[in-house]
Amino acid sequence: MTRYIIRRLIAMPFLLLGIITIAFFISHNTRGDPLISIIGERQMENPDVVAAAKARWGLDKSLPEQYAIYVGNLTTGDFGTSLRTKRPVAQDLLDRLPATLELVIAAMLAGSLTGIVLGVIAARFRDSGIDHLARLWALIGSSTPVFWSGLILLYVFSVALGWLPGPGRLNARTLPPETITGFLTIDSLLSGNLQLFRESLYHLILPALVLGWTVMGIVSRLVRVSMLDVLSQDYIVAARARGARELRVLFNHALRNAMIPTLTIIGFTFAYLITGAVLTETIFSWPGIGSYAVDAARNLDYPAIMGVTIVGGMAFLLSNLLTDIAYAFADPRIRLR
């Protein structure tokens, strides 16, 4: 297993290079000129300014040359400088990644756990009212656009009821805790500030619920289907024949088998949300990777686009590896070699 993991890790940079190459040439071949957002529309008439800006950002070189320089810099850990924020892209990403991770992990935890429970219940009471209700709830979750459910929940819980705070990771005037992990909930706990912990946690609830609801919809539907398949297996009858009661049959025997296909979708969803939580991040003013990606794309900020692509690619590669490892633990028939 260790050898397998090492082999996969070795292969990763090469896969990443493939992703980078494709993303580089696609993004640099789009219509539009990043210079407009750097120097402004009016200065575009001035050839001297244009030439200077091009030279400053290396845009005067040929595309293959730019590519070679970019990849060369990457190997030294230099992700380039954002055309928009004028800061190193690596720094921008490091600032924003923890916010996204905190949100996505919270959403995945809430969504997966409730999704699994809901899926098990729906399968157990197949075709009954409970099943229909659970499926409707899941369908609403997986098909409601986040920009709608987010706004509605924000209105209800923050504006109308005042139970939860509005957008942002903290109240506007609150100073964040000293950065240790970048997760505000953890950092505030580590610095012993319970007041701050409460505040960051309350801010996390709504966006995590909105995002988690989608996850729950996906997970519960898959768990239901796999549970139904597993529950019709001979070993379920055999478990009942040895006196196993319903809860034991459902959780010890059926769910352990039904989790195997579910792990894939959980891993995939997690990786997807790292760059895919854009809408939630936008609505809740969450300073994460998703909103950074949108800003980058809007301004044709090449280095930032590439940086986000690398983060997204890494997320998929790593979560695929983790999923495969989890598979091996969940299913003894799978051997990683």
Partner 1 sequence: MSAAPLLEVRDLTVRLGGPARRLEAVREASFALAEGTTLGIVGESGCGKSITMLALMGLLAPDIEISGSVRFRGEELIGKSQRELSSLRGKRMAMIFQDPMTSLNPVMTVGEQIGEAIAIHATALSRAARQARALDLLKVVAIPFPERRLRQYPHELSGGMRQRVMIAIAMANDPELLIADEPTTALDVTVQAQIMELLLQLQKERKMGLVLISHDLGVVARVANEVAIMYAGRICERGPVGTVFGRPGHPYTRGLLASLPKIDRTVESLIAIPGSLPSLAQRPSGCRFHPRCTFAQSICTRDDPALLPRGSVDVACHFADKVETS
State the residues that interact with partner 1 by CB under 8 A.
Answer: 233-235, 237-246, 248, 252-253, 256-257, 260, 330-333
Please choose, from the candidates 148, 93, 146, 104, the residue with its C-alpha nearest in 3D space to the C-alpha of residue 273. 104
78 versus 331: smaller Cβ distance to partner 1 = 331
The distance of closest approach from Cβ of residue 332 to partner 1 in the complex, given in angstroms and rounded to an integer, is 4
129 versus 162: smaller Cβ distance to partner 1 = 129
The distance of closest approach from Cβ of residue 241 to partner 1 in the complex, given in angstroms and rounded to an integer, is 4
- Residues 83, 39: contact at Cβ < 8 Å? no
125 versus 268: smaller Cβ distance to partner 1 = 125
Residue burial 195-213, b: 16+ Cβ < 10 Å; e: rest: ebbebbeebbbbbbbbbbb
The distance of closest approach from Cβ of residue 124 to partner 1 in the complex, given in angstroms and rounded to an integer, is 12
81 versus 257: smaller Cβ distance to partner 1 = 257
CA 223 to chain centre: 21
- Residues 214, 278: contact at Cβ < 8 Å? no
The distance of closest approach from Cβ of residue 67 to partner 1 in the complex, given in angstroms and rounded to an integer, is 48
Say whether 244 sits in a helix, a strand or coil.
Answer: coil
- Residues 288, 277: contact at Cβ < 8 Å? yes
- Residues 164, 205: contact at Cβ < 8 Å? yes
The distance of closest approach from Cβ of residue 323 to partner 1 in the complex, given in angstroms and rounded to an integer, is 17
Q: Which sign, positive or negative, has the C-alpha torsion 115, 282, 178, 74?
A: positive
Please choose, from the candidates 298, 301, 262, the residue with its C-alpha nearest in 3D space to the C-alpha of residue 278. 298
The distance of closest approach from Cβ of residue 247 to partner 1 in the complex, given in angstroms and rounded to an integer, is 11
257 versus 269: smaller Cβ distance to partner 1 = 257
Structure letter (DSSP) for residue 31: S
10 versus 241: smaller Cβ distance to partner 1 = 241
